[in-house]
Structure formats: C-alpha cells, structure tokens
A and B are shown apart, each in its own frame.
Chain A
Amino acid sequence: MTRSPYFQSCALFACALLAAYFLKNPYYVGVLVFLGINVIITIGLSLLMGYAGQISLGQAGFFGIGAYTTGILTVKAHLPLYASFPAAILLTVGVAFVVGIPTLRLKGHYLAMATLGLGEIVHIVFNEFIRLTGGPSGFGNIPPVRFFGFELDTDFKYFVFVWAVAAFILFFSLNIINSRIGRALKAVHKDERTAATIGINTSRLKLVIFVLGAGYASIAGFLYAHYVTFLSPGSFGLGFSVLLVTMVAVGGMDSIWGALIGTAVLTILPEYLRFFKDYDILIYGGILMAIMLLRPEGLYSIKIRIKRRAEA
C-alpha cells in the first residue's frame, strides 16, 4: 500500500460511481446505499479488530443509538437535521466512552461477551421504551436529508451522498493508520506488553479506537434512519452485530481494504442467495465456516499472496 490515502479514497468513490452507472436499476442502487452504510461501520470495526486487536459484538447497538437519536429528535422533537446529526454522534460517542472504560479492560472471549451483552441491552431498551421508540413495531416518517435547499429525494442522489461520506471516512481512517496512533496500534496488536514498555498508553489507545468505531457506526445510523425513514428494533439486534464482525473477518482483519471486500461480498451475496429463500442462513454459515477454516486471514490475503508471488 504505497498509494496515498487521498488517492485510495477517491478510487473507492469512483468505483462506487461506476458501479451505480452500470446498474441503472434503482433496486441495485438501493443495495449499494446499504453497502455504503455497512462500509462506514466496518471500517471502524476493522480499525478495532485488525489494528487494535479487540473485538466488538455490540456494534449494531451503536448503529442503533445513532439511528434512534436522530429519528426521535427529528420526528418527536421536530429538530432540524443539523441539530440531530451532532446529537446522534455525541450521544453514541458518550455512551461508547462510558461503557468502553470498563469493557476494554477485558480480553478475548470476555470482551466479546461483554460487548454482546451491551448490544443486547440496547436492543431491549429499543423494544421496551415504547413511548420514545414505538417498541417492537417501531416508528416512521423520518424526514429525508436536505441541506442548503437541496433535497436528496432519489436513490441515486442519496447513493452519491452516502459514498462521499464513506470515502471521507476511509480517507480519515487511512490517515490515522499512517500516523503515530496507527503505528502505536500496530505495536499494541503485535504485543501489548512490549507496547506498554516502550511508553504507549495502551488502554487509552484502545478506548480512542473503540469510541471512534462507535462514532462511525452512529454516522451510519444517521444515514440509515434518513434513508429508510422507518426504524424498528429488528435492524439493530445481535444478528447484525455478528454479521458486521464476520464481514471484517471474511474480508481480512489485517487491512481496511479487507473489511471493504468482506462487506461488499456479504452485502451483495444475500441478494443472490434470495434464490434459496429461507435457507440462505445455512449457506451463509457454511461459507463463513469454510473461509475461517481455509483462509483464516480472510479473502484479502489471497491478493497479498498473488502480489508477493509476482514480486518474487
């Protein structure tokens, strides 16, 4: 990866535009909007898993807090988007900060279970705070995105908007990886104790990345809420958290590009598995198991291997 972050994020944006240009069908453009939203979350998760070496099985919870905050503020309090957007991010980041301090002291399986428990608690709150969230049936009529008198009223306009945000997030994240923080993260991932000995504040660093990932998820939640204009707890459960983690793992945890590939594969694959109706879950589980057994480093490692062979 010698190319500049600027070049890489522009390339991502260009690829998405090309894809949308060739897929004129609005349904597929809709799929690409969801892909962009998922990409924003998994870039954050990839920083956490691949670079900081931590796992979060509660990412759907942060995604949900972002979506519900902006939804409730715009529908029930009639606030404008430029107020609900920062509110959604601030609330999510605040929650992530508060729960992150005790959670990130845990390791491995315990961290996984604790984040999973937190995500489920958020999910139960969405179901039970009926006056605010509408309970299991959810609530609708969330206004579309509009700024400077320009409304994102078609799928294509929204698509361009989402991917511009995704490209910016990629740019920002690649810059973090190439910075002092990124190098410190790599040291923590290699060996936490050694990293601590050379003066890296490992717990603060992990917390920063955890909170950053939650912030990305809340941005994705904002984009999701104003695209589908309807929210119900079903979209923010354990299933989605697990799906996000597997996207990163299937693509390859060692690189952000791995996360992008994994997200693309697992977002688009179900569209083809529709053919199998309800049995897609079986095939999906099988693919996941096969990749973890045969290519535990993820799909992206295949590309690295080919490149190495070409260089040799």
Chain B
Amino acid sequence: MNLAVQLFQLALSGITIGSIYAMVAIGFNIIYNSTGILNFAQGEFVMLGGMLCVFLHNSLKLPLLPSGVLSVAAVSVIGLLFERLAIHPLRNPSVITLIIITIAASILIKGAAMFIWGKETFVLPSFSGDEPLRLSGATLLPQTLWILGFLALVVTLLTLFFRLTMVGKAMKACSYNRTAAQIVGINVSGMVLLSFTLSALIGGVAGVIVTPMTLVSYDRGSLLGLKGFGTAVCGGLGDMGGAVAAGLIIGLLESFTAGLLSSGYKDAVALVILVMILYFRPAGIFQKRDERRLVGS
C-alpha cells in the first residue's frame, strides 16, 4: 500500500472516530446549554444504548430496527429518571456536589450494566453488511456511512428544533438567562428535564450506531465521555457546528497519531488538546464568546 492510500485510509477512519466524538459532544452541549452542568455520565448513555440494543437483538431476537428504537427510548427514559431522581431534588447544589452526583450516576450505571450483562464484550451486526466499499485503494465499512448519516440527521434536526420550535427556543432562553426565562413564563424545570432526556436520547442513538463498529462492554463509556467532552470544549461548549468540526479535527489527529506514530499515544492526543484548549482558548477554537462563563465567576 503506498503512502497516499495509507493516508487516505487513516483520514477515513479519523472521520469515523470524529463523528462518534461529535455525537457524544452534542449530548454534552444540550445539557450544558440549559443547565450549565457537565454530565460526567454522558459516556454511560452511549454504552447503555449499545448494550440494550445488543440485548434486545441478540438475546430477545428482535429485528435490528425495533431493537434500536426501543433501546434509544429506554436510554431516554433513564436520562429522564436520572434528572428527576438525582438532579432535581438538589436545592442550590454546589458545583462540586453536582460533579460528584454525575460521577456517582456513571458508577451506578456502569455497575448496573456489569451486574446485568457481565464483563464480556458484545458485538452487533452491521446495519447493511460487512462488505467493505473500495474507494481508490482504501476501504470503507458501510457502517461508517450510517454513522455519518445519523450525525448529519441529528445535527439537522437539532438545529431546526432550536431555531424553529417554541420549545427549542424556550430551552435556548434558559441557557442565556434562567431567571429571565422564568419571568417570561418558561417552565425552567421542565426544560432541564427535557434537556437530560434529549441528551440521553442522542447518547443512546450514538451507542446503537457505533456498536457494530466499536463493539461494546460495560466499561466503554468513561473514555468515550472524556473524549466527547474534549470535543465539546474544543468546539466551544454549547455550539453544535463547533462540536462537529472539533470532532473531525480530533478524530483525524488521533487516527494519524495512531497510524504514523504509536497507537499507545492515540488516547493522549484528545486529552492534550483538551487541556491546551482549556488553558489557551477556553471558549473553543472557533470563537471568542463570553469567556467569563469559563474563567470568571
């Protein structure tokens, strides 16, 4: 294989990984936008989506489509319950309390998954076969196209939702100023509930579509969550388009590092980028907005 083909191949796999990170980052953004909370359990939603789909499809023998839809619905319900049971009851929580609550939730979800499904790694069949497509010497799994397609779909639907619907606009209003949103009659508590549900839903979708490619086990969520967060920060927290662009940048860098340097340092790339961005461009690489939200009080 010559170098050009190899680079093209690495770029393709970078784009695939990047789209997954972007999807997780969008989940972070939705909760952050309406509550200012960073949900440390975001990666677990992805893991749950994959696990539930595997369970429904492989153990209960349901066809792939209903298994996917049902598992996404179940993850959304879990997100809803999480907000009602663990976030909503807190009165004036400190940031440290919120961080620990979401960490506790991620430990609980991880523990429950291990309790139910054990420690094995599970596979899910690809949506449309494993016959790789040939693209000028490089190969592309059909599942990659599904991942890209779903990412495009989620971004489009969310953009339309936040721009055109009353509920979407109300959610955005909460992110700008909660008190003001309350004064104009927006049900802020309902919006917070909705944001957790929506974010869990997107996490669930991500889990279902990436599992045929990346496999799934109970402990897959944490690192994915961390990288998704890195992506969200890199693109500017709360910014959907930024998340997609940053996801692609991080995915490509990671893939080239793994292919050309050493696969061991692959995971360090996203983390180093995350730390550097936090130090030097805390509002993300694309814009300089309201930095006080990040470094001021």
Enumerate chain A interface residues (CB-CB to B < 8 A): 49, 55, 102-103, 105-110, 112-114, 116-118, 120-121, 124-125, 127-128, 192-193, 238, 242, 245-246, 249, 253, 278-279, 281-286, 288-289, 292-293, 296
Sample (30) of A-B pairs whose CB atoms are under 8 Å apart: A107-B95, A107-B295, A109-B37, A109-B98, A110-B278, A110-B282, A113-B38, A114-B274, A114-B278, A117-B230, A117-B271, A120-B226, A121-B268, A124-B264, A124-B268, A238-B222, A246-B103, A278-B119, A279-B111, A279-B114, A282-B111, A282-B114, A283-B111, A285-B105, A285-B108, A288-B104, A292-B97, A293-B86, A293-B90, A296-B93
CA distance A166 to B12 in the complex (A): 53
Are B262's CB and A289's CB within 8 A?
Answer: no
Residues of A within 8 A of B285 (CB): none
Nearest to B111 among chain A residues (CB) is A282
Nearest-neighbor residue (CB-CB) of A249 within chain B = B100
A111 to chain B, nearest CB (A): 9
B69 at the interface (CB under 8 A from A): no
Partner of B226, one of A105, A116, A284: A116
- B152 an interface residue at 8 Å Cβ cutoff? no
Quick check: A109 and B295 within 8 Å, CB to CB?
no
Which residue of B has the minimal Cβ distance to A99? B275
For B94, the chain A residues whose CB sits under 8 A away are 296
Q: Residue of A at shortest CB range from B229?
A: A113
Determine whether the beta carbon of A49 is less than 8 Å from that of B111.
no
Report the minimum CB–CB distance from B263 to chain A (whole Å): 10
Kindly report which residue of chain A lies nearest to residue B38, judged by CB atoms: A109
User: Would A281 and B110 count as touching, CB distance under 8 A?
Assistant: yes
For B233, list chain A residues within 8 Å (CB): 110, 113
CB of A106 within 8 A of CB of B272, answer: no
Residues of B within 8 A of A284 (CB): 107, 111
Complex Cα distance, B95 from A113, in Å, reads: 12
Bound CA span A245–B96, Å: 10
Chain B residues near A108: list those with CB within 8 A.
95
Say yes or no: A293 contacts B89, CB within 8 Å. Answer: yes
With a CB–CB cut-off of 8 A, which chain A residues contact B96?
Answer: 49, 55, 249, 253
Chain A residue at minimum C-beta to C-beta distance from B36: A109
Does the CB pair B271–A107 fall under 8 Å?
A: no
**Which residues on the A side are within 8 Å of B222 (C-beta)?**
238
Find chain A residues with CB under 8 A from B278 CB: 103, 106, 110, 113-114, 117
Contact A282 B90, CB 8 Å, known A121-B275, A242-B103: no
Knowing A117-B275, A128-B265, A278-B119 are in contact, say whether A288-B229 is a contact too (CB < 8 A): no
Q: Which residues of chain A have C-beta atoms less than 8 A from B294's C-beta?
A: 106-107, 110
Q: Which of B73-105 contact A (CB under 8 A)?
A: 86, 89-90, 93-101, 103-105
B274 lies within 8 A of A106 (CB): no
Q: With A and B bound together, what is the CA distance between A273 and B103 in angstroms?
A: 20
Q: B275 — which chain A residues lie within 8 A by C-beta?
A: 114, 117-118, 121
B86, A289: Cβ atoms closer than 8 Å:
yes
Bound state CA distance, A117 and B274, in angstroms? 7
Say yes or no: A128-B86 contact (C-beta < 8 A), given A107-B295, A278-B119.
Answer: no
CA distance A188 to B268 in the complex (A): 34
Q: Which of A55, A192, A288, A296 contacts B90 (CB 8 A)?
A: A296
Contacts of A283 in B (CB 8 A): 111
Interfacial chain B residues near A107, Cβ < 8 Å: 95, 294-297
**Is B130 among interface residues, defined by CB-CB distance under 8 A?**
no
CA distance A242 to B282 in the complex (A): 24
**Interface membership of B62, Cβ < 8 A:** no
| Cβ-closest chain B residue relative to A50 | B96
Known: A117-B226, A128-B262, A286-B111. 7 other contacts (CB 8 A): A107-B294, A113-B229, A121-B268, A128-B264, A281-B107, A281-B110, A289-B105
The listed residue with most A CB atoms (<10 A of its CB), out of B90, B105, B278, B282, is B278
Nearest CB in chain B to that of A108: its residue: B95
Whether A124 contacts B267 in the complex (CB less than 8 A), given A113-B233, A296-B93, comes out as yes
Select from chain B the residue with minimum beta-carbon distance to A296.
B97
The 10 lowest CB-CB distance pairs between A and B, nearest first, are A282-B111, A285-B107, A285-B108, A108-B95, A281-B111, A289-B104, A102-B279, A288-B104, A109-B38, A128-B264
Beyond A296-B90, A296-B93, is A124–B297 a contact (Cβ under 8 Å)? no
Q: Which of A49, A114, A128, A292 counts the most chain B CB atoms within 10 A?
A: A292
CB of A19, distance to nearest CB on chain B (Å)? 28
Q: Give every chain A residue within 8 A of B38 (Cβ-Cβ).
A: 109, 112-113
CB pair A289 B108 closer than 8 Å: yes
- A283–B264 Cα distance when bound, in Å, is 33
- Distance of A279 Cα from B113 Cα, bound (Å): 10
- Bitwise interface map of B from 264 to 297 toward A, beta carbon under 8 Å scored 1, else 0: 1101100110110011001000000000001111
Interface residues of B in 204-233 (CB under 8 A from A): 222, 226, 229-230, 233
Q: A127 and B108 in contact (CB under 8 A), knowing A278-B114, A288-B100?
A: no
* Chain B residue at minimum C-beta to C-beta distance from A237: B222
Chain B residues whose C-beta falls within 8 Å of the C-beta of A120 in the assembled complex: 226, 267-268, 271
Residues of B within 8 A of A114 (CB): 274-275, 278-279
Asked if A281 and B265 sit within 8 Å, CB to CB, the answer is no
The answer on a CB contact under 8 Å between A293 and B282 is no
Q: Are B274 and A289 in contact (CB under 8 A)?
A: no
- Given the known interface contacts A116-B226, A296-B93, the answer about A285 and B272 at a Cβ–Cβ threshold of 8 Å is no
